[in-house]
Amino acid sequence: MEPINVFDYEILARERIDPIYWDYYSGGSDDEVTLRANRSDFERIRLRPRMLVDVQDCSTSTSVLGSPVGMPILVAPSAYHRMAHPEGECATVQGAGAAGSLMIVSTNATRSLEEIAAVATGPLWFQLYLYPTREVAAKLIRRVEAAGYRAIVLTIDLPTMGNRERDLRNHLKISFPMPNVEGIARSEIPWRITTWDDVDWLCAETSLPVLVKGVLTAEDAVLALEHGVSGIIVSNHGGRQLDGAVTGIEALPEVSEAVAGRCEVYVDGGFRRGTDVLKALALGARAVLVGRPVLWGLAVEGSQGVQQVLDILHSELQRAMKLSGCPTLASIPRSLVKLT
């Protein structure tokens, strides 16, 4: 089968990935209600296209925290890319760069942050877990800064692991090396309770912009601003943490309204079509993050598969913008979407 959309890549990837690893990538927590809602909630949003607009030259170029990118579609942080392809994150970052995107590298990557940076052709951010002591985290931050990463993304929605029953049934064991957390026992990762005091510490510890990932309410968005973050990522961790939580696209309007332009807002969770991306942009997102589809592309054709998945989403976004009468990202209005 010649894949023509993201769902085709999902079918092909499932044939190539070990079934236990597939469950790790694709599963959610408990009854997977939120996992399913991450997709179905897009169906509750309708588009209100405008006609007779000159959309011949349609541009998707933008910047994220000052870094130029060719599209508002970024690679979300996800762990253990070598489960999908032998080259792991090094192949992912090459595909992301070729597509004109940005990659957020996970602390739990299976290639070192230095190796990934050495082959990157696009900008990089680093996703951080705060491990047992701040001293350990500070050493990792120094490595991130030295390697040329442009921002740090602090994941805040993991005070404990969600109840991922697929992994429990499979007796999942991770055998791949994790070179970014050398010297830390796997049993210690990543369950250190993170608080707003840690956000203050991180913002003071690094000169890089700090984003928090895992915000789902206006209340926490306002607190994030008060604690000095440069960006907010609206996320329910791919439906892998609290089952029954609101979805990213559902929470996005209240977060965007609360932030009111005082920092950049991003969102992830269930993005599979260019129209999904367009809806998020209309609801206030600067850009969206995609995770599982990138892994599917990686499994099917390495770096080229990653590029192709991102290119498909990019092409679909451009088409949706033209059909909606939006020649630029700045021309996408809130009135484009109707919540049903």
Burial zone of 183 (CB within 10 Å; 0-12 exposed, 13-18 middle, 19+ buried): exposed
- Give the pLDDT of residue 270: 98
Closest CA to 286 of 120, 71, 111: 71
Establish if 42 belongs to a structural domain: yes
Closest CA to 107 of 65, 66, 63, 139: 139
pLDDT of residue 189 exceeding 80: no
- Give the pLDDT of residue 140: 95
pLDDT of residue 290 exceeding 90: yes
- DSSP per residue, 205-258: H-SS-EEEEEE-SHHHHHHHHHTT-SEEEE--GGGTSSTTPPPHHHHHHHHHHH
Please tell me whether the peptide bond between 190 and the residue prior to it is cis, using omega within 30 degrees of 0.
yes
Over residues 36-65, the mean pLDDT reads 98
pLDDT of residue 254 exceeding 70: yes
pLDDT digit string, tens, across residues 81-132: 999 999 999 999 999 999 999 999 999 999 999 999 999 999 999 999 987 7
Largest CA distance in the chain: 61
| pLDDT band per the 50, 70, 90 thresholds, residue 139 | very high
| pLDDT band per the 50, 70, 90 thresholds, residue 187 | low
* CATH number of the domain that residue 24 is part of: 3.20.20.70
pLDDT digit string, tens, across residues 301-331: 999 999 999 999 999 999 999 999 999 999 9
Establish if 9 belongs to a structural domain: no
Establish if 334 belongs to a structural domain: no
How many structural domains comprise the chain?
Answer: 1
At residue 111's C-alpha, the angle toward residues 152 and 229, to 5°, is 5
Instruction: In whole angstroms, give the CA distance from residue 42 to residue 278.
Output: 11
| pLDDT band per the 50, 70, 90 thresholds, residue 15 | very high
Q: Where are the alpha helices (DSSP H) in the chain?
A: 6-16, 19-26, 33-40, 89-98, 113-119, 134-146, 165-170, 196-205, 218-226, 248-259, 274-282, 292-324
- Owning domain of residue 131: 18-46+57-328
pLDDT of residue 188 exceeding 70: no
- Give the pLDDT of residue 181: 86
* Two structure tokens written together for 316: 């679909």
Catalytic position from the list 81, 85, 237, 314: 237
Establish if 7 belongs to a structural domain: no
Based on the residue annotation, tell me whether 171 is a catalytic residue of this protein.
Answer: no
pTM for this one? 0.97
pLDDT digit string, tens, across residues 143-180: 999 999 999 999 999 999 999 999 999 999 988 989 99
Over residues 207-227, the mean pLDDT reads 98
Integer CA distances (angstroms), 2 to 6, 9, 94, in order = 11, 9, 22
Closest CA to 313 of 2, 7, 1, 69: 7
Burial zone of 130 (CB within 10 Å; 0-12 exposed, 13-18 middle, 19+ buried): buried
- Give the pLDDT of residue 190: 55
Establish if 2 belongs to a structural domain: no
Establish if 186 belongs to a structural domain: yes
pLDDT of residue 77 exceeding 60: yes
- Give the pLDDT of residue 133: 81
Q: Can you give the length of the chain in residues?
A: 340
Establish if 338 belongs to a structural domain: no
Closest CA to 15 of 1, 35, 36, 32: 1
Instruction: In whole angstroms, give the CA distance from residue 183 to residue 185.
Output: 7
Instruction: In whole angstroms, give the CA distance from residue 11 to residue 248.
Output: 25
* Two structure tokens written together for 330: 């700045």
Angle between helix axes 6-16 and 292-324 (nearest 10 degrees) is 170
- Give the pLDDT of residue 234: 99
As a whole-number percent, the residues of the chain with pLDDT over 90 amount to 92
CA gyration radius, the chain: 19
Phi, psi angles (nearest 5°) of residue 180:
-85, -10
Instruction: In whole angstroms, give the CA distance from residue 242 to residue 141.
Output: 28
Establish if 339 belongs to a structural domain: no
Burial 44-66 (b: 16+ CB within 10 A, else e): ebeeeeeeeeebeebebebebbe
